């Protein structure tokens, strides 16, 4: 199959909507990352997503909608979930709710819940409104790789596996949506993302973060959000996260850098903009600014992909504080590093 990349003109969006209605796959930009979409209600179309990504079929998909009315046939919405929708949709929040029978098992892995989100990217909204069906869409990467934040990333992973990519430029948020479980006793973030805990708590003060978010799964433990598997978002080389006071972190990164280079390994230190000047003599890559952590979220996946393109074998990465959007950044970094963390 030939994969075309089109600018999101009215005609291109209309064509993409038509392809979705016909049961084909289309990749499209959202404010978080690019999504790989199929008609969520078509049990023949959805399996194509799993095949293209090489995604295990026990990992449920997020169903995307373009209007508030579209939510009603899909799931049961209580007052508290409604309050979240009013506050954060369209936007980077995914809500887990009890599903209605219309959801085919292939879409939500046969679970009692379904994940619903209304993205805010204008191209995504236009597409969802034009196609008139809910669209199941995971991130448009090969399973396990860093999520795509540009159309070029999608093409790198999935060329030949879908007919059309709408190219809406680079994504603004850069990490995926926050997934909040509204079927739990207390609203629980099972994947941190674009909407922070602090933001959620302005609407639901009892909202909390699942403790599995910042640690590997225990043996035999079932993931609340199956996508938060052990190694994920991972570059091909070995990534080590280094956590602690800035001076100690720099010392340890420089020592490990020197060692790895002496072992003949292609090595980079992934550093915060503010610290870059301190790493004299090391090859570094700046991952954004501590002052503006949204910039780290925006750059992170592209930086990890760049490490693969440059065939870097050893990466040492400065950790960031786990507050606000930092929680989502660290959640992805931990998994990209397969929980290889040095506390110094
Ligand atoms: O920002 C995003 O959410 C992007 C864009 C494309 O919208 N999508 C995305 O989808 O990140 P995906 O499939 O890569 O991640 C969906 C996450 C997975 O961790 C999955 O296990 C979880 O949501 N999830 C989906 N449905 C669920 C359900 N019913 N119960 C528990 N977790 C669910
Ligand atoms: Mg994903």
Q: Are residues 193 and 248 in the same domain?
A: no
> Is 79 among the domain residues?
yes
Q: In whole angstroms, give the CA distance from residue 110 to residue 186.
A: 23
- As a whole number, the mean pLDDT across the chain is 95
The DSSP bridge pattern shows strands 164-166 and 26-28 to be: parallel
- Which is nearest to 29 in space by CA: 15, 48, 8, 9? 8
Place of tokens 């609203």: 187
Residue-range definition of the domain harbouring residue 300: 238-343
Q: Report yes or no on 140 lying in a domain.
A: yes
Q: Are residues 270 and 317 in the same domain?
A: yes
Identify whether residues 37 and 137 lie together within a single domain: yes
Residue 231 lies in a domain: no
Q: Give pLDDT, residue 223.
A: 66
> What pLDDT score was predicted for residue 234?
84
Residues 193 and 271 in one domain: no
Q: Which residues contact 92 (CB under 8 A, 6 or more apart)?
A: 31, 32, 117, 119, 120, 173, 176, 177, 178, 193, 194, 195
- At residue 308, the pLDDT reads 95
The runs of H, that is alpha helices, within 5-113 are 10-21, 46-53, 79-88, 105-108
Q: How far is the centre of ligand 1, averaged over its atoms, from the C-alpha of 18 (Å)?
A: 24
- CATH (domain of 324): 3.40.50.11030
Taking the centre of ligand 2 as the mean of its atom positions, its distance from the CA of residue 255, in whole angstroms, is 34
Structurally, the chain folds into a number of domains equal to 2
Percent of the chain scoring above 70 in pLDDT = 97
Q: Residue 227 domain-assigned?
A: no
Mean pLDDT of 226-232: 62
pLDDT score for 233: 82
| Confidence (pLDDT) at 74 | 98
Instruction: Report helix, strand or coil for 114.
Output: strand
Report pLDDT for 224: 64
Q: List pLDDT tens digits, range 274-323.
A: 999 999 999 999 999 999 999 999 999 999 999 999 999 999 999 999 99
Q: Is residue 99 included in any domain, yes or no?
A: yes
pLDDT tens digits, one per residue of 115-166: 999 999 999 999 999 999 999 999 999 999 999 999 999 999 999 999 999 9
284 in the same domain as 203: no
Q: Is residue 36 part of a domain?
A: yes
Residue 132: what pLDDT? 96
What's the CA-to-centroid distance between 113 and ligand 1, angstroms? 12
Is pLDDT at 48 greater than 60 in this prediction? yes
Question: Other CB atoms closer than 10 Å to residue 222's CB: what's the count?
Answer: 8
For residues 178 and 191, is the Cβ–Cβ distance under 8 A?
yes
Average pLDDT over residues 209-222: 81
Q: Are residues 206 and 276 in the same domain?
A: no
Q: Is residue 242 located within the same domain as residue 146?
A: no
Q: Which atom of ligand 1 is nearest to the CA of 35?
A: 6
With contact defined as beta carbons under 8 Å apart, do 214 and 329 qualify?
Answer: no
- Together in a domain, 202 and 286: no
Q: Mapping DSSP to helix (H, G, I), strand (E, B) and coil, where does residue 36 land?
A: strand
Copy the structure tokens of residue 118.
């209304």
In this structure, the answer to whether residues 34 and 174 fall within a common structural domain is yes
Kindly indicate the confidence band of residue 85, based on its pLDDT and cuts at 50, 70 and 90.
Answer: very high
* CA 133 – CA 42 distance, rounded (Å): 10
Closest ligand 1 atom to Cα of 36: 6
Residues within 6 Å of ligand 1 by CB: 30, 32-33, 35, 59-62, 92, 94, 96, 108, 111, 113-115, 117, 119, 137-139, 176-177, 179, 191, 225-228
My answer on whether 256 and 177 are in the same domain is no
Ion ligand 2 residues within 5 Å by Cβ? 139
Q: pLDDT tens digits for 248-258?
A: 999 999 999 99
- How distant, in Å, are the alpha carbons of 127, 180, 271, 337 from that of 313? 40, 35, 17, 13
The residue whose C-alpha atom lies closest to atom 18 belonging to ligand 1 is 227
Asked if the model's pLDDT at residue 69 lies above 60, the reply is yes
Q: pLDDT for 172-201, tens place per residue?
A: 999 999 999 999 999 999 999 999 999 999
Distance (Å) from CA 247 to ligand 1 centroid: 37
pTM, two decimals, is 0.96
Residue 319 lies in a domain: yes
Provide the pLDDT for residue 228: 58
Distance 85 CA to ligand 1 centre (A): 17
Cα 174 to averaged position of ligand 1 atoms, centre (Å): 15
Average pLDDT of span 15-27 = 98
Ligand nearest to the CA of 143: 2
pLDDT band of residue 215 (cuts 50, 70, 90) is: confident
| Structural domain contains residue 219 | no
Nearest CA to ligand 1 atom 15: 138
Nearest CA to ligand 1 atom 3: 177
Q: Band the pLDDT of 218: cuts 50, 70, 90.
A: confident
Residue 130 belongs to domain with CATH number: 3.90.870.10
My answer on whether 203 and 244 are in the same domain is: no
User: Which residues have C-beta within 8 Å of that of residue 284, sequence separation ≥ 6?
Assistant: 268, 269, 270, 271, 276
Same-domain check for residues 206 and 257: no
Residue 281 Cα distances to 41, 96, 244, 322, angstroms: 55, 48, 21, 29
């Amino acid at each position: 199959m030939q994969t075309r990349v089109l600018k999101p003109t009215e005609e291109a969006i209309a064509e993409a909507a038509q392809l979705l209605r016909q049961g084909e796959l289309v990749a499209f930009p959202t404010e978080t990352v690019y999504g790989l979409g199929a008609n969520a209600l078509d049990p023949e179309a959805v399996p194509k997503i799993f095949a293209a990504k090489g995604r295990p079929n026990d990992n449920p998909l997020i169903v995307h909608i373009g209007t508030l009315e579209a939510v009603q046939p899909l799931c049961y919405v209580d007052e508290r979930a409604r309050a979240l929708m009013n506050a954060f949709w369209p936007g980077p929040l995914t809500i887990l709710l009890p599903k209605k029978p219309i959801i085919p098992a292939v879409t939500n892995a046969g679970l009692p819940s379904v994940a619903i989100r209304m993205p805010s990217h204008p191209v995504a909204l236009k597409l969802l409104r034009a196609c008139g069906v809910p669209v199941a869409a995971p991130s448009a990467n090969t399973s396990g790789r860093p999520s795509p934040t540009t159309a070029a990333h999608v093409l790198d992973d999935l060329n030949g596996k879908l007919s059309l990519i709408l190219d809406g430029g680079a994504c603004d948020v850069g990490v995926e949506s926050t997934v909040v479980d509204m079927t739990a006793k207390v609203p629980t973030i099972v994947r941190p993302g674009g909407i922070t805990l602090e933001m959620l708590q302005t609407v639901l003060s009892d909202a909390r973060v699942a403790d599995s978010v910042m640690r590997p799964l225990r043996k035999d433990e079932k993931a609340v959000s199956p996508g938060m598997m052990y190694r994920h978002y991972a570059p091909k080389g070995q990534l080590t996260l280094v956590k602690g006071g800035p001076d100690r972190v720099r010392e340890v990164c420089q020592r490990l850098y020197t060692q790895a280079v002496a072992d003949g390994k292609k090595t980079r230190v992934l550093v915060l903009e503010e610290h870059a000047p301190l790493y004299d003599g090391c090859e570094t890559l700046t991952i954004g600014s501590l002052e503006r952590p949204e910039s780290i979220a925006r750059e992170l996946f592209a930086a990890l992909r760049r490490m693969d393109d440059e065939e870097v074998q050893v990466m040492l990465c400065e950790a960031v504080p786990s507050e606000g959007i930092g929680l989502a950044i660290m959640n992805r970094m931990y998994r990209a590093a397969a929980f290889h963390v040095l506390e110094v």
